[in-house]
A and B are shown apart, each in its own frame.
Chain A
Amino acid sequence: MSSLEIATQNETRILSVLVENKPRVLARVSGLFARRGFNIHSLAVAPTDDPERSRMTIVVAGDDATVEQMTKQLNKLINVIKITDLDPEVSVQRELMLVQVKADPSVRAQIIEIAGVFRAQVIDVGTETLIVECTGTPEKLHGLEDLLRPYGVVELVRTGRIAIARGTKAPKLKAVKNKPAAG
Chain B
Amino acid sequence: MKLTGAQALIKSLEEVGVEVIFGLPGGAILPVYDPILESHIRHILVRHEQGAGHAAEGYAYATGRPGVAMVTSGPGATNIVTPVADAYMDSVPMVVITGQVGTPVIGTDAFQEADVTGITMPITKHNYLLTDPEEIPEAVAEAFHIASTGRPGPVLIDLPKDVSQAETKWYWPDALDLPGYNPTTKGHSRQIKAAAKLILESKKPVIYAGGGVIKGRAADELRSFAELTGAPVVTTLMARGAIPDDHELCLGMPGMHGNYTAITAMQRSDLLITLGARFDDRVTGRVDGFAPEAKIIHADIDPAELSKIRRADVPIVGDLTNVISALSRAVQSEREKKPSPDLGPWWAQLREWQKKYPLAYEGPNGDGLKPQFVVEKLHEVTGGDAILVSGVGQHQMWASQFWRFNSPYSWINSGGLGTMGFAIPAAIGAKVGRPDETVWAIDGDGCFQMTGQELITASISRIPVKIAILNNAYLGMVRQWQELFYDERYSEVALGKDIPDYVGWAESMGCAAFRVDDVDDVIPTIEKAQAIDDQPVVVDFRTDWTEHVYPMIPAGASNDEVILSKAEDPDATEDHVPAEGDTR
Contacts and interface: CB of A to CB of B under 8 A. Distances in A.
Contacts of A180: 175-176
Interface stretch (A68-76, A127-135, A145-153): A68-76
B573 interface: no
Nearest to A176: B182
A37 interface: no
A68 B125 contact: no
A33 B121 CA distance: 13
B49 interface: no
B122 A73 contact: no
Interface in A67-95: 68-69, 72-73, 75-82
A180 B173 CA distance: 10
Interface residues of A, number: 33
Nearest to A23: B129
A35 B180 contact: no
Contacts of A174: 179, 182
A182 B144 contact: yes
Nearest to B155: A78
A65 B311 CA distance: 9
B118 interface: yes
A1 interface: no
A117 interface: no
A178 B379 CA distance: 49
Given A20-B179, A78-B180, A181 B174 contact: yes
A177 B175 contact: yes
Given A65-B307, A182-B144, A81 B121 contact: no
B145 A183 contact: yes
Nearest to B141: A182
Interface stretch (A6-14, A24-32, A99-107): A24-32
Nearest to B148: A183
Given A28-B121, A69-B308, A182 B142 contact: yes
A157 to B, nearest CB: 28
B181 interface: yes
B499 interface: no
B484 interface: no
A78 B146 CA distance: 9
A91 B266 CA distance: 45
Nearest to A52: B179
A169 B392 CA distance: 52
A89 to B, nearest CB: 25
Contact of A79 (B175, B176, B180, B307): B180
B191 interface: no
Nearest to A77: B180
B145 A181 contact: yes
A181 B141 contact: yes
A162 interface: no
Interface string B163-182: 00000000001111111111
B180 A27 contact: no
Contacts of A78: 125-126, 146, 178, 180-181
Nearest to A81: B180
A179 interface: yes
A180 B142 CA distance: 11
A97 interface: no
Nearest to B304: A72
A28 B127 CA distance: 10
Nearest to A72: B304
A25 B252 CA distance: 43
A176 B178 contact: yes
Nearest to B146: A78
Interface string B74-114: 00000000000000000000000000000000000000000
Nearest to A76: B304
Given A27-B118, A65-B307, A68-B307, A182 B16 contact: yes
A98 interface: no
A76 B117 contact: no
20 contacts: A31-B121, A32-B122, A35-B122, A65-B307, A65-B311, A69-B308, A72-B304, A72-B306, A76-B302, A76-B304, A78-B125, A79-B180, A179-B145, A179-B176, A180-B176, A181-B145, A182-B141, A182-B144, A182-B148, A183-B145
Given A76-B302, A183-B144, 12 more contacts: A20-B179, A28-B121, A31-B121, A31-B122, A35-B122, A69-B304, A174-B179, A176-B182, A182-B16, A182-B142, A182-B145, A182-B148
